[in-house]
Structure 1
Amino acid sequence: MKKKVIIGLFIVAFILFSINGEFRESTGSTVNFGWFSLVPPVVSIILAFISKDVIISLFLGVFAGAFVLHLADGSILYAFIQSFLSIVDYSLSSLADPWNAGIILQVLTIGGLIALMTKMGGAKAVANALSKKAKGPISAQIITWILGILLFFDDYANSLIVGPVMRPVTDEKKVSREKLSFIVDATAAPIAGIALISTWVGYEVGLIKDGYEAIGQEVNAYSIFVETIPYRFYNILMLLFVLCTAVFLKEFGPMLTAERRARKYDQTNKEEINPAASKEMEEMEPAEGVHLSIWNAIIPIATLIVFAIVGFYVNGYNAILAGENTAIINLLKENPYSFTAIQEAFGASDASIVLFQAALFASIVAMFMGVSQKTFTWGQAVETWINGMKSLIITGAILLLAWSLSGVINDLGTAQFLVSLLSDSMPAFLLPSIIFILGSIISFATGTSYGTMGILMPLAIPLAAALSPNPEFIVISAGAVLSGAIFGDHCSPISDTTILSSMGAGVNHMDHVRTQLPYALLVGMITVLFGFIPVGLGIPIWIVLPVSMVVIILSVQLFGKSIDEEANDLEFIKSKEDLK
């Protein structure tokens, strides 16, 4: 109730503020909304902090922006009514865009494919096969890390599969459950966010496309997405950090205490206080009595990847031939399979359509496999597929609202106002770092990467374009949005993947947050100091990325302490008390 009151007071304050004075300057048919153009993102961000609900925050952000737009043309009552109608209009126009529709279909279809593979026991079979290779704490952690990377296509699937499968193995090898949950969490969103094919790609690509359209540029958004990958410092450095701590067997902070405790005490009887998402766990379980086979995962995923690669080429090839660039057309006709030709074809392809087609075809293959193995009937296969799609409906809702927010921001001229406000006052080299930090704060407060990306991307790309004429600078800034959103989400105690990771590993949720946070903050700090600031200054990525990776390795060696070293008695006493 208190939360609702705060939200209501905030909305009332906003309305009173809106009608309390002049918020526009009319010059002919042009309306300059000035500071009021910031209303949609500010409302979304502030409400995200208050409500911790990205759906409500984005919805009210769109409403607030529409209210400002219509208040310029009529009374308060008129603006209030039209604002609700505008939300529908923005949503319909977003969904009517073939690109956006393709992205939503792609995301939902991949969710259905994941459900089919899970019911056939494919994902669990792969995990079981890898777990048998564990010989000690080092190999157990590395195998958990590898398994997390192999489940690149979805962060939820990663969190819900890797933890439960590897928990008996890491218990046996005396790896703490806190460390297990950290590895699971650190290979969920970070790898899904940079994977070329995943449930994240469509959303990220769609936001990039909208951002470039805001500055009047028509680009192949998927190609831009690929270009941002080297600049996704947090994702890359966190994956390396996890590997280093496993190989060197060095930890620091609360994780060191947890690991030393695990080496000395039996943790198999620890109480698992993680009721959250139990429904999702049940849905991720294979069908009863199914024979676990790794091919039930390998074949559908391989089908998805191969069909997508072929589809990118064919779709792009046809698009180029239908165009007017004679030089590229001649290149494709004369050397269709050269590296340059393939690169051009991939760049011209429609990723939303191709990935949807690939996921649909892979789903049909998975259905045939499941039916032929008598895992389920055709009716059950379709039902499983649809249930998998249902699990990602919330993603579709966030997509629509994020696109709608982007639309109202564009109509208000928010980006143009920020450009005029900041282009002469902010050093260009600091923009990627500021974007990363702001994204981290929003994501931490809301517990979601998606909403943060939707709020910041429409603002970051126009700002970057105004501050620097270098196209690479825009790519860096887009990468900062995507990296910052994942960093904050990784730290946040209310993040879905944080909750699912602790639950899957069988560890107290706040113990997971407490042990993981120092690691995430260290990698985040290195991301800014040795990643975004240097590339903002113009240092080439081929220098910055290796240097930042070396810093990660040295940090583990410098700050980490060997787990095998005897801890002081006080540490063990406290650890023993934790077990009670």
Structure 2
Amino acid sequence: MEAIHAGIFSIVPPVLAIILALLTKDVVFSLLMGILSGTIIYTILAGLNPLVAPVEVLFNTSFANLDLYIIFFVFLLGALVQVISLSGGSAAYGRWGSRYLRSRRSTLLATAGLGCLIFVDDYFNCLTVGTVMKPLTDRQKISRAKLAYLIDSTSAPVCIIAPISSWAGAVGSSLRATGSFASDFSAFCATIPYNLYALLTLLMIVFLIFTGWDFGPMRKQEEMSAASTAPDDTARQAESPCKSGTVTDMVLPIVLLIVLAMLGMLYNGGFWAAGEPGYHSLTGALNNCTAAQALCWGGFGAVLFAFLLYVPRGLITFKEFMACVTEGFKNMIPANSILVLAWTISGLCRDQLLTAEFVRDAMTRSQIPGALLPAIIFVVAAFLSFSIGSSWGTFGILIPIIVPVATALSPNLLIVSLSATLGGSIFGDHCSPISDTTILSSTGAGCDHLTHVATQIPYALLVAGCCLFGYLVAGFSDGNLLLMFGATLAALISLITIMHFSCQKHAVSLPKEI
């Protein structure tokens, strides 16, 4: 399937899918329509059979972009959650955690802290944090939308500033391909202090937790949850335990999942491989690992361990265990369906090089003033990543363009421009309806996908607007880090305060802190 340059038509499939999702509230239908529009555009421009080719291109693209390891991992995690819940382990863990996390604030801080600790891979983060923290956040009547926001905000934004992560390897490979840096790892580390979107997202989480100043749709979800009328009450009741499991019955399978996944990443990353120079280090192995494969191994090992932990003791019968596995698989079908469709529409754009060529032409033909370069790059990266739902795809497209453009126009702003590229790429991964981590965050939290998107977008847009201001300051101050960060942080705090007081008169009081 050859690449087609479609110009402005390249953004039609993802934009159409996003608009339909927001209008119809049906993600699957919206993604299918977006994909179909893309295959029709490709068929027309390539001069193929208009009756057969759209469907042929659809399935070719879909199968080419499937990540079966992630699909199986999601299924296995669904099964693990189900059997842990039936054993009574989740309820016991909730009762135990409530002794130490006695307020909303402490529970939210613990959730955010756990998300920051699991920085190796974003998929791993999204599903693990939700599984561990759901029983505790439910007991504090924290909405599932808020939990999904915390999970999503501590996955990609944390991974992109963690030198030891699968993301560092992906960015490093793109930097290495430009041939402009003596050390791609050092170049990646240099971008961290200037990655405003990632840093401000984390600071916003802390500020919101301590002040409780939620606004917009998130405020409404929190008020509904505090009044015990949230739409996810039914889901919470469904998690009621049927057995007399203990905290150990929940903690051990989850810990084993984490340990096996980490060991799997080191193994397939070549940590113990013979004759592989550069792989015999923690950083090298994690940068070269196949995270999805390791997660699948860890998920299978955790489910098998849960079987050996529960069934021989009589806590769960064999039939109950297998019924839970089947039910867990069923529960994850919607999430996997959305994932497959999201991968397809993202792959459709990448495989045809539609968006890539459109952005490349726009960047190379325009005469950009050097001082405006970081801000413009941030906007372009944010728009592109939101459209295709992939941060890796975005910085994979943009970094080879940005490095020569920044070197020619404003060499002293090269690192700032790269940081703007990474930060803008994270924006789409953080909040796009068709982003895989957005989908997995809502899945891990047990939150409706579009509810998660609607409640998170105002927060993400607020941070993105402050980042745009920050990169303008950086451009005109010749990359002054303190001035850039100080101005951006002041703008963020000011805007959150304004948003809070503007809607306070209509707010319902949330539970008091203990």
TM-score normalised by the chain length of structure 2: 0.68
| Contact 2:378–2:420 (Cα < 8 Å) also in 1 | no
- Equivalent pairs: percent with the same residue? 19
Shift of 1:165: 1.0
Please list, as runs of the form range in 1=range in 2, the aligned pairs for 1:279-298 lying within 5 A after superposition: 280-283=235-238, 285-291=239-245, 293-298=246-251
Match runs of 1:267-282 below 5 Å: 272-275=228-231, 278=234, 280-282=235-237
Output the CA distance in 1 between the equivalents of 2:202 and 2:475. Answer: 20
Are 1:417 and 2:358 an aligned pair? yes
Larger-Rg structure: 1
**What are the equivalent positions in structure 2 for 1:519-530 lying under 5 Å apart?**
522-530=462-470
2:325 is aligned to 385
- Correspondence for 2:139 among 144, 160, 165: 165
1:157 and 1:31 mapped to 2: Cα distance? Answer: 42
Query: Aligned letter for 1:91?
Result: S
Local SS of the residue matching 1:274: coil
Partner residue of 2:109? 145
CA contact (8 A) 1:464 1:477 kept: yes
The number of equivalent residue pairs is 457
* Bigger mean CA deviation after superposition, 295-304 or 385-394: 385-394
Counterpart AA for 2:27? V
Call closer, same or farther: CA 1:128–1:393 in 2, change over 3 Å.
same
Q: Offset of 1:250 from its aligned partner?
A: 7.1
Aligned-partner SS, 2:270: helix
1:461·1:477 contact (CA, 8 Å) conserved in 2?
Answer: no
Alignment partner, residue 31 of structure 2: 58
State the Cα distance separating 1:131 from its structure 2 match. Answer: 2.0
Distance 1:401 1:499, change over 3 A: closer
Aligned to 2:120: none
Residues 213 and 500 of structure 2 are in contact (CA less than 8 Å); yes or no, is this contact kept in structure 1? yes
Which of 54, 76, 80 lines up with 2:51 in the alignment?
80
Unaligned runs of 5+ residues in structure 2 are 116-124, 160-164, 180-184, 408-413, 510-514
Asked if structure 2 preserves the Cα contact closer than 8 Å seen for 1:428 and 1:467, the reply is: no
Distance (Å, rounded) in 1 between the aligned partners of 2:490 and 2:52: 55
How much does 1:344 deviate?
A: 1.3
The Cα shift of 1:540 comes to 9.1
Asked whether the 8 Å contact 1:312–1:350 carries over to 2, the reply is yes
Aligned to 2:430, which of 462, 472, 486? Answer: 486
1:531 deviates by 7.1
Rate the CA distance shift 1:49–1:365 in 2: closer, same or farther, 3 A.
same
Q: What residue in structure 2 maps to residue 314 of structure 1? A: 267
Note closer, same or farther for the CA distance 1:150–1:410 as it changes in structure 2 (3 Å cut): closer
SS at structure 1 position matched to 2:73:
helix
Distance apart, 1:108 and its partner CA: 2.4
1:34, 1:517 → 2: CA distance?
28
Question: How far has the Cα of 1:70 moved from its partner?
Answer: 2.6
The structural deviation recorded for 1:347 is: 1.8
User: Residues 385 and 143 of structure 1: is their aligned pair in 2 closer, same or farther, counting only changes over 3 Å?
Assistant: same
Whole-Å Cα distance in 2 between the matches of residues 63 and 212 of structure 1?
Answer: 30
User: 1:361: how far off?
Assistant: 0.8
Matched to 2:401, the amino acid is A
Question: Which one of the candidate residues 99, 105, 114 is aligned to 1:132?
Answer: 99
User: How many angstroms apart in 1 are the aligned matches of 2:288 and 2:363?
Assistant: 34
The aligned counterpart of 1:3 is: none
* Structure 1 residue 71, shift from structure 2 partner: 2.5
Residue 118 of structure 1 pairs with residue 85 of structure 2: yes
Q: Taking structure 1 as reference, are residues 49 and 423 closer, same or farther at Cα in structure 2, changes over 3 Å only?
A: farther
1:453 aligned onto 2:389? yes
Q: Is the 8 A contact 2:377 2:421 kept in 1?
A: yes
Which letter maps to 1:66?
A: T
Query: Partners in 2 of 1:551 and 1:67 — Cα distance?
Result: 47
* CA–CA separation in structure 1 for the residues paired with 2:8 and 2:499: 48
The aligned runs of 1:118-517 (5 Å cut-off) are 118-133=85-100, 139-147=103-111, 149-150=113-114, 153-154=126-127, 157=131, 161-167=135-141, 184-193=147-156, 237-244=200-207, 246-247=209-210, 251=213, 272-275=228-231, 278=234, 280-283=235-238, 285-291=239-245, 293-317=246-270, 321=274, 327-328=277-278, 332=280, 341-414=281-354, 415-425=356-366, 428-435=373-380, 438=383, 453-454=389-390, 458-459=393-394, 461-469=396-404, 477-487=421-431
Deviation (angstroms), 1:410 = 3.6
**Partner secondary structure for residue 71 of structure 1:** helix
Specify whether residues 408 and 298 from structure 1 end up closer, same or farther in structure 2 by C-alpha distance, changes over 3 A only. Answer: same
1:346 counterpart letter in structure 2? L
Structure 1 unaligned segments of length 5 or more: list them.
1-28, 168-176, 197-201, 218-222, 333-340, 443-450, 563-570
Query: What is the rounded CA distance, in whole Å, between the counterparts of 1:59 and 1:424 in structure 2?
Result: 34
Task: Please give the per-residue CA displacement for 1:420-467, whole angstroms capped at 9, x wherever unaligned.
Answer: 123332554124531575479x6xxxxxxxx8625x764553134212
Instruction: State the partner residue of 2:118.
Output: none
Q: 1:58 to 1:270 in 2, by over 3 A?
A: closer
In the alignment, is the contact (CA less than 8 A) between 2:70 and 2:296 conserved in 1?
yes
CA 1:527/1:94 → structure 2, altered by over 3 Å: closer, same or farther? Answer: same
